[in-house]
Structures are given as C-alpha cells and as structure tokens.
C-alpha cells in the first residue's frame, strides 16, 4: 500500500531532552503536647505524566527548577490533628525515566496519569517524636526522555540528513557545505492524509570514535537509543571528514556507522533500520550504486576486503534500501511510504509479542489443580 502524505518540520532550536530538578518534600507540622495533638505530615513531590507537555516547557515555566511541597499544619485546639501539607506536582511528558544524580533509576512514566513519588514529606510531630516534626526529603532528580522520535537519522556529517528533511518538509534548517551543521536534535513530523503522524529526529552528525565520546559522541548515541527505528543516511559518493582523514566509500561508511553503534551499545543493532542512499543526482551515482548493491548482497565477503578498522563484529541488516536525491526529490515518495510501512510492521510484531506475554503470564497464574481433566481418570 502507498500512502500519500504532507510533511511539516518543526525546528526546535532549543530542544530539551533531559532536565535536572531540585525537589523537596514539605516539613511536618508541630504536635500539641498539652492535648496530645498530632502535627500534619508534609506534602509530597510527585512527577505526573501528562500529554502535550515538553521538558522545555518545564524549564521555561520554572526557570529555577525547584519544586517544594507544602508544610503540614500544626496541631491546635481547634484541629488536634494537623492537615497534611499540599503536594507539589511536576507535570512531565509521557515516556520519561526519572533518576537520581548518581544514576539510580527511581521509575518510569509510560502512560498518561502515571505518578511517581520523588520526595516524601516529613512526619508531623507525635508523642514518639516529642511532638517535634521531621523535615521532608530533599534530592536532585533528572528527567530523561526515553523516546524522542519514531525514527532517528544516523549518518556522518554532510551525508545530507538536514537536506533530506528539508526536501520532505520544505523547512529551512541550517545547511552548508561543511560537516557540523546540526548541533542538536531537530524533530520533524511527517503527516499523512489519514492524519497519521511519524516523528523524525535529525541528529547531530556522527564521527569516527563517537563511541569513546569524540565529537558529540555520547550525546548523539544517547539520542539514537531513544528512537524506535534508525535511518542510515549515506552519501553515495563516499565521505571524508577532513583532508587528513581517510576517504570512506559508501559501503565502508555503512560498516563504520554500524561499528560506532555496536561499540557504544551492541543492542542498538537490533533496532529495525532503513538505509537511505542519498545524492543520487551526482555524476557517477548509478555506477556507485551498482557497486554498493553488490557489496550489500554479499556483506560477509565484501566486509573482509575493507580496512580492518571499519569492520564491525555484527553486520546491520536493513528492512529497506532506498536510493534518493534530496535535491531533485528522486525516491522521496517511496521513502515516505516505506517509513510508515516499517513502523506499522514493528507495531504489529510488538503487539503480538505483548499479547503472547500476557497470555503466558495468565497461564502461569492459573493453578494446575484448577485445570479439569474432562473424561479422564486421575491417578493417585
């Protein structure tokens, strides 16, 4: 099936995918020794998942990034049991993980309405505490987006990733004939005529050695982890970062991109991936394409002929290989269709897998003694 689509691209110049917050639970209220009154507990700080919220909105709305819950009420003659302090709620996007400063995971918010306690309020004063209250919990937490887009563009600088999104969207991201024109993720939306939307992240250009944090290495690779699928974008004529860097053919570029992902986190190679061969309008592109296709058809043998420093342990297998030209529009309608097809196939597989897991869990929960052996004599 071929879907028609219209595409818009929003350029987030200040895209925020993680944020650090100070949170403090409210202190408890004083007890009343004379009448045995109990002070109210302090309020809690909770992170609550909500749609249509971004981390950038949190940063803009709360520039000091501090969230403090209310203090518990003191016990008094008119109210011997003090009221609990007001909770503080941090509304955050769906699909975030919450960690402490040292990396300990406090929890994840995967559905709208999910709530996570991040700072507990102090206890009100009681007989056991000499009617003195305790302070609320204080900590620094980090909110990290687990998934920033359906599809992440992976490629070396100047592979034409920004140009590709420009061709899809008619937007105007920064483009120039030098390597690092994308310095932070930019999120685009492909919108189809039936209102289906697919988000695409144009990620900063990868360089050799990114896995050891060269260039923007770890920042880039962290973003790659947060996409459902990958789209490798390769210049059909090859790539050379600088005059003193080795020239890499299109096939060597595919191998090297694979190796950088593998060295950072081998699990990334398990993501479904589309290979986009860009700049097909350049002279000699067709002969380069035939050469690349021959190498891809026999990756194991061809990779052994490549320089040793570009060969990964495992090879990437692509769901689709699409030659395009971001300049002339060649192949773009097919690419849009295949993007959607690939994502929908993944959704079907994941849904069936989740259904199977739930069924297996239900079977485990049913005790064997409750299963009848109709028509059979049970041996004792």
Sheet harboring 5-9: ordered strands across?
5-9, 186-192, 197-202, 149-154, 227-235, 273-278, 320-323
Using a pLDDT cut of 90, give the percent of the chain over it.
Answer: 49
Structure tokens at 294: 């021959």
As a whole number, mean pLDDT of residues 230-235 equals 94
Residue 180: predicted pLDDT? 38
Give the closest residue to 160 by CA, choosing from 279, 285, 318.
279
**How long, in residues, is the chain?**
380
Q: Do residues 208 and 214 make contact, with C-beta atoms less than 8 angstroms apart?
A: yes
Q: Where are the domains of the chain?
A: 17-145, 151-345
Name the superfamily (CATH) of residues 17-145: GTP1/OBG domain (2.70.210.12)
Residue 179 has pLDDT above 70, yes or no: no
Residues 115 and 48: their CA atoms lie apart, in Å, by: 5
As a whole number, mean pLDDT of residues 21-50 equals 97
Q: What is the CATH number of domain 151-345?
A: 3.40.50.300
Q: Enter the DSSP assignment of 248.
A: B
Strand partners, 229: 151
Instruction: State whether residue 278 is helix, strand or coil.
Output: strand
Q: From residue 44, how far is each of 92, 112, 378 by CA, in Å?
A: 16, 20, 57
Which residue is it, tokens 């309405």? 113
pLDDT digits (tens, 9 = 90+) for 15-32: 678 899 999 999 999 999
Q: Enter the DSSP assignment of 320.
A: E
As a whole number, mean pLDDT of residues 22-44 equals 97
Using a pLDDT cut of 70, give the percent of the chain over it.
Answer: 83
As a whole number, mean pLDDT of residues 39-63 equals 94
Which residue is it, tokens 């991201």? 173
Three state DSSP letters for 98-129: EEECCCCEEEEECCCCCEEEEECCCCCCCHHH
Structure tokens at 91: 């509304």
Q: Enter the DSSP assignment of 44.
A: P
Window from 124-138, 149-163, 292-306 with minimum mean pLDDT:
149-163
| pTM of the model as a whole | 0.68
Residue 379 has pLDDT above 70, yes or no: no
Residue 187: predicted pLDDT? 75
């Amino acid at each position: 099936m071929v879907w028609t689509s219209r595409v818009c691209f929003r350029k987030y110049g200040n895209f925020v995918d993680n944020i650090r917050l100070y949170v403090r639970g409210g202190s408890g209220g004083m007890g009343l020794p004379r009448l045995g009154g109990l002070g109210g507990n302090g309020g809690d700080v909770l992170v609550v998942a909500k749609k249509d919220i971004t981390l950038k909105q949190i940063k803009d709305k709360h520039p000091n990034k501090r969230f403090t819950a209310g203090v518990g009420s003191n016990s008094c003659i008119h109210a011997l049991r003090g009221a609990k302090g007001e909770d503080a709620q941090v509304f955050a996007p769906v699909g975030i993980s919450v960690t402490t400063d040292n990396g300990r995971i406090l929890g994840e918010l995967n559905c709208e309405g999910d709530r996570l306690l991040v700072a507990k309020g102090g206890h009100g004063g009681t007989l056991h505490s000499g009617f003195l209250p305790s302070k609320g919990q204080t900590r620094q937490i980090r909110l990290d987006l687990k998934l920033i887009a359906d599809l992440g563009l992976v490629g070396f600088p100047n592979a034409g990733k920004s140009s590709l999104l420009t061709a899809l969207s008619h937007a105007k991201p920064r483009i120039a004939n030098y390597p690092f024109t994308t310095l932070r993720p930019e999120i685009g939306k492909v919108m189809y005529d039936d209102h289906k939307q697919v988000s695409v992240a144009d990620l900063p250009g990868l360089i050799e050695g990114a896995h050891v944090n060269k260039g923007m290495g770890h920042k880039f690779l962290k973003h790659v982890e947060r996409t459902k699928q990958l789209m490798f974008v390769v210049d059909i004529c090859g790539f050379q970062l600088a005059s003193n860097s080795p020239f890499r053919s299109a096939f060597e570029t595919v191998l090297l991109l694979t190796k950088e992902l593998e060295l950072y986190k081998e699990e990334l190679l398990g993501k479904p991936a589309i290979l986009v061969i860009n700049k097909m309008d350049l002279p000699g592109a067709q002969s380069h394409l035939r050469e690349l296709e021959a190498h891809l058809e026999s990756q194991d043998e061809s990779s052994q002929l490549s320089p040793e420093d570009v060969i990964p342990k495992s090879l990437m297998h692509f769901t689709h290989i699409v030659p395009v030209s971001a300049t002339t529009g060649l192949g773009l309608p097919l690419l849009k269709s295949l993007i959607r097809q690939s994502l929908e196939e993944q959704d079907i597989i994941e849904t069936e897998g989740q259904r199977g897991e739930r069924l297996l869990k239900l079977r485990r929960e049913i005790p064997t003694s409750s299963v009848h052996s109709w028509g059979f004599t049970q041996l004792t």
